[in-house]
Structure 1
Amino acid sequence: MRTPTTAIWTRRAPAALAGAVLAAGVLAGCGSDDGGAAAPSSTPDASLGQVTVAEDGVQEVTIQTPDDYVFVPDTFTVAPGRVRLTVESTATQATHNFRFTPGRGPEEIAEEIPLLAAGATETIEFEVAAPGEHPFECSFHVQLGQVGVMTVRG
């Protein structure tokens, strides 16, 4: 004769086992079965945010803006002089823009990208002279924290 405790365990054991098997199946399903193709990397390109100097002497830097309301990277540093900034939208849905936050840097930088559609790339070119931090933003998503800083070395 079984005790009531044993009877409860015996009746619940198959349900618990089935739940564990189901959970394992769901977790295994989180992987990708894409026929062996490599999954997209969530690691940003190491060259993003690195400033190089083009043959024409202009400093060049590229940043990205994905769907999660950030700039990648959100900081970079340039020397005083001419800058060519490329913003690549890696977003699949969100539309962004890019501008230097008005009234927040040591000098006004008027160049901006008023509209950057998902998947688009735009480039602006401008001159910087004043050392210090020049905040930038996506004015559509500044409340979500889509901001960054360009530092001009002194």
Structure 2
Amino acid sequence: MEYRGEVWATDQHADSETPDYPISGMYHEGTGERLVVTIGIMKDQLAEEVRRFLEGGLNDDLTNPVLNIYSDKPIISAKQANMVVDKIKKEIQRITSKNGIKVIDLFYAGPSHLALFFGHRSNTLPPIQCYERVSSNTYVATCKI
């Protein structure tokens, strides 16, 4: 994809010169078969907003496990984007294999290139139901990957 005058390709993998990218993750155990994942890149309120939405009923009375991933740093290259996707995917795989997760409910707020790269690498994950924000604390199910 073209981004700010450069081509960012999904096959541009991180190497020893790629700057590390800090992400914070918070995992909340649950007993449901769905994993709620929030990914907020430079969007620090996403996890809280999704929590309020889930309290409205999507999360089976809040029994499903929840993984909140956040960073306040911009992603500066395709190589770094692939690094971030690898970190996120490994954490999701760890949780889904350990807990027998059948579906991932994904709430994403971040740059389009990271969404593209994540979608490109998500083939080994359980089915992913994506959600789109329509207003404060309100989301609708959109595509399923």
Greater RCO, CA 8 A, separation 6+: 2
Q: Which has the higher helix share?
A: 2
TM-score range, shorter chain: under 0.3
Structure number, greater radius of gyration:
1
Normalised to the residue count of structure 1, the TM-score between the two structures is 0.23
